């Protein structure tokens, strides 16, 4: 393990806020975690950080911060039709996706170019372009910092939901060390979502391979989303709210074009980005922070600002959306 004191987390959060951590420890192995446990480090509150791409840091951190650097990419078993691959939690998510795509193993190619680490992917069951990790997730191995025991979690144990999991509901209890996925050797591609099919058509690809889907997703994401290297952000700041179909009918009286997707017989998912844009926030700027000009769901930091400015802006948007649509927007980003 490597220890640092009074270190800036500016390069470790994609909003780019200059927050100090009193103690930061890079962990490279399960043995490092066991040593920290034996030394009583988990008797106090602590935080685990991966790529810092789903975090809003609002104040200096006096508790121990662990930076997960457990590395591994390994094919652990295979059948005639599937492979099971095992990744260290500290691996970069996109690199893990590329490793699978380049080997012809399908199932996570729609999740190309999502920032962050493999270990954080189960926390909010990352999803994009009609796919979530729960669709191919096999199991994970995690350390319980209260009991000092390792445990295997199956797909069912993780209680995955929309941008949700058992771990999101139990913060500060588990350190995810390894994650496994079962992928297909004869993948069926999924191009039904958003602009993927349009890009394939433009590229005259009629029988897309997983590499084509991955390339299409990378193109769409690169053109639509702000790159944190250029403008600080944490992706979608709010979750898409789920409301009843009867509430939708009421809202449609005033807003017939509201963007909604049926979930089941009684509920619909509303595009939070549509609500924020319709309420007039797209491109809004206040001091050092604002709402992205092309994607209203993404709050941005232009530099020199504070995490608390983003939090204040997010709360203002929350109130405004509630006043206009009677819909509560929930934060997707973790606030520290």
> Which of ligand NAP, ligand FAD, none does 68 bind, CB closer than 5 to 8 A by kind?
ligand FAD
Would you put residue 148 in left (φ > 0), alpha (ψ -120 to 50) or beta? Answer: left
Which residues 68-87 are close enough to bind ligand FAD by CB under 6 A? 68
Query: Residue 295 binds which entry of ligand FAD, ligand NAP, none, with Cβ cut-offs from 5 to 8 Å by kind?
Result: ligand NAP
Residue 251 or 276: which CB sits closer to ligand FAD?
276
Nearer to ligand NAP, 185 or 293 (CB): 293
Stretch that binds ligand FAD, among 30-38, 230-238, 288-296, 313-321 (CB under 6 A): 230-238
* Angle, alpha carbons 135-136-139 (nearest 5°): 115
Q: Which of 132, 163, 214, 260 is catalytic?
A: 163
Contacts of residue 279, Cβ cutoff 8 Å, sequence gap at least 6? 317, 320, 321, 324, 325
114 belongs to the binding site for ligand FAD (CB under 6 A): yes
Q: In Å, how far are 9, 219, 251, 266, 321 from 254, measured between CA atoms?
A: 45, 35, 6, 21, 14
Is 277 one of the annotated active-site residues of the chain? no
Residue 117 binds what, of ligand NAP, ligand FAD, none (CB under 5 to 8 Å, by partner type)?
Answer: ligand FAD
Question: Which residues between 46 and 65 bind ligand FAD (CB under 6 A)?
Answer: 47-55
Question: Alpha helix (H) ranges present in 59-181?
Answer: 93-102, 166-169
Q: Which of ligand FAD, ligand NAP, none has residue 273 at its interface (CB below 5 to 8 Å by kind)?
A: ligand NAP
Give me the catalytic one of 109, 132, 309, 332: 332
Q: Is residue 334 within the footprint of ligand FAD (CB under 6 A)?
A: yes
Active site residue 332: yes
The token pair at 287 is: 């001091």
**Start-end of H helices in 203-244:** 210-224
SS3 content of the chain, % helix, strand, coil (to 5): 30, 30, 40
From 53, 236, 260, 309, the catalytic residue: 236
Task: Give the C-alpha distances (Å, rounded to integers) separating 187 from 83, 93, 158, 190.
Answer: 11, 20, 25, 9
Catalytic site includes residue 11: no
Q: Write out the catalytic residue numbers.
A: 163, 236, 332
């Amino acid at each position: 393990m490597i220890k640092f004191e009074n270190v800036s987390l500016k390069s470790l959060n994609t909003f780019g806020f200059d927050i100090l951590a009193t103690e930061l420890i890079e962990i490279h192995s399960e043995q490092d975690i066991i040593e920290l446990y034996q030394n009583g480090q988990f008797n106090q509150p602590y935080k685990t950080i991966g790529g810092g791409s789903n975090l809003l840091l609002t104040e200096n951190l006096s508790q121990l911060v662990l930076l997960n650097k457990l590395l591994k990419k390994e094919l652990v078993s295979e059948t005639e039709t599937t492979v099971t691959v095992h990744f260290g939690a500290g691996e970069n998510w996109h690199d893990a996706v590329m490793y699978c795509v380049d080997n012809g193993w399908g199932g996570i190619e729609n999740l190309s170019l999502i920032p962050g680490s493999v270990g954080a992917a189960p926390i909010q069951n990352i999803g994009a372009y009609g796919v979530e990790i729960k669709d191919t997730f096999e199991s994970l191995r995690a350390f319980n910092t209260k009991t000092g025991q390792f445990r295997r979690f199956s797909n069912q144990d993780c209680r995955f939901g929309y941008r949700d999991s058992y771990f999101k509901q139990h913060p500060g209890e588990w350190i995810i060390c390894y994650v496994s996925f079962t992928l297909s050797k004869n993948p069926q591609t999924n191009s039904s979502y958003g602009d993927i099919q349009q890009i394939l058509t433009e590229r005259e690809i009629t029988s897309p391979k997983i590499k084509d889907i991955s390339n299409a997703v990378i193109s769409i994401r690169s053109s639509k989303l702000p790159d944190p290297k250029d403008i600080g952000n944490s992706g979608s700041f709010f979750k898409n709210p789920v409301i009843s179909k009867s509430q939708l009918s009421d809202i449609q009286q005033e807003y017939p074009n509201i963007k909604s997707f049926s979930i089941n017989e009684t509920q619909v998912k509303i595009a939070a980005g549509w609500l924020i844009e319709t309420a007039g926030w797209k491109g809004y700027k206040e001091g050092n922070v604002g709402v992205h000009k092309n994607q209203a769901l993404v709050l941005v930091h232009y530099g020199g600002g504070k995490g608390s400015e983003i939090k204040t802006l997010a709360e203002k948007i929350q109130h405004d959306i509630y006043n206009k649509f009677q819909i509560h927007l929930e934060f997707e980003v973790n606030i520290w």
